[in-house]
């Protein structure tokens, strides 16, 4: 429709409206490419003498032009033109067709009436201070068990993937050089076979038996109360016997030191 409105006064090759990629809406201006080569003065004169009428797009253009004339301080001119000259090596115009790019503002609707404008008041939220701020920070730092478990699972999966990649790289490097890398893993030695259950090295049978004997004797000694009583009585009797023996030895030593002149 816009192209037909321009073709009523001049053959138009193409009309492009610039769209905003983010909002998918037109920015309010476009480019008009003419089919004939025009000079700068002629293009300006042609644009000034351009009159649009007889179509829907023409009525909209006229409506927008009238609105711009009524409010010149709030809106820019309707059309602004840019003529790009292409010159060849000799400094002459080389292209048979010269693009006349005309920058135009939004021309697809009449000015919005004042009674259709809806005003919305946005209430400004007060900043959190004091206890509210501390509570919000506390809850933000502790999102919950579900989120925490998800983060842990992601970390473990990433760690295992990195370890697996490192292991594969080491194996690949060893295979390329023709060497087999043997590593020693620290930890408890294997004492039983997983299939048969037979003891296979690691601990000597004699050492196991000796350890079991010591364990049983230590557990049975002075375990009950009567055993502790008997042990104390035996210790007292042994001390008394040693005391009597020491008394006899002292008497014998005194008799040996007695003075005998004849």
User: What pLDDT score was predicted for residue 165?
Assistant: 93
In a domain, 229, yes or no: yes
Is 117 among the domain residues?
A: no
Residue 7 and residue 103 in one domain = yes
Numbers of helices and strands, H then E, in the chain: 7, 4
Query: Do 25 and 98 sit in the same domain of this protein?
Result: yes
Give 33's DSSP letter.
E
- Tell me what the pLDDT averaged over the chain comes to: 66
User: What is residue 124's predicted lDDT score, i.e. its pLDDT?
Assistant: 61
Nearest to 103 by CA among 29, 27, 171, 11: 29
Which pLDDT belongs to residue 123? 57
pLDDT at position 88: 46
* pTM, rounded to two decimals: 0.23
* Residue-range definition of the domain harbouring residue 65: 2-109
Instruction: State which H helix or E strand residue 227 sits in.
Output: helix 225-256
Structure-block tokens of residue 39: 């000079």
The distance from CA 151 to its chain's CA centroid, rounded to whole angstroms, is 10
Q: Choose one of 58, 86, 109: the last residue of a domain.
A: 109
Residue bearing tokens 């590593």: 183
Average pLDDT, 10 consecutive residues per value, the chain (262 residues): 63 72 70 60 52 41 44 43 45 42 43 54 70 88 87 94 91 71 60 58 65 64 83 93 93 78 58
* pLDDT the model gives residue 154: 94
Q: Which helix (H) or strand (E) holds 12?
A: strand 12-19
């Amino acid at each position: 429709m816009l192209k037909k409105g321009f073709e009523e006064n001049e053959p138009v090759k193409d009309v492009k409206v610039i769209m905003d990629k983010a909002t998918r809406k037109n920015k309010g201006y476009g480019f008009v490419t003419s089919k004939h080569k025009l000079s700068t003065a002629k293009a300006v004169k042609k644009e000034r003498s351009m009159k649009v009428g007889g179509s829907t797009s023409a009525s909209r253009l006229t409506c927008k032009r009238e609105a711009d004339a009524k409010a010149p301080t709030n809106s820019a001119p309707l059309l602004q033109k840019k003529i790009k000259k292409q010159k060849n090596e000799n400094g002459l115009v080389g292209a048979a067709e010269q693009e006349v790019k005309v920058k135009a503002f939004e021309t697809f609707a009449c000015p919005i009436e004042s009674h259709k404008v809806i005003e919305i008041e946005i209430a400004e939220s007060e900043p959190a201070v004091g206890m509210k701020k501390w509570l919000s920070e506390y809850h933000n730092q502790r999102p919950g068990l579900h989120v925490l478990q998800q983060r842990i699972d992601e970390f473990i999966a990433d760690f295992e993937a990195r370890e697996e990649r490192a292991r594969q790289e080491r194996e690949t490097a060893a295979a390329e050089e023709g060497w087999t890398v043997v590593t020693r893993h620290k930890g408890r030695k294997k004492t039983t076979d997983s299939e048969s259950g037979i003891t296979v090295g690691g601990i000597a049978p004699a050492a196991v038996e000796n350890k079991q004997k010591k364990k049983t004797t230590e557990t049975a000694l002075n375990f009950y109360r009567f055993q502790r009583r008997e042990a104390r009585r035996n210790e007292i009797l042994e001390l008394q016997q040693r005391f009597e023996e020491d008394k006899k030895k002292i008497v014998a030593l005194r008799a040996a030191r007695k003075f005998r002149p004849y």
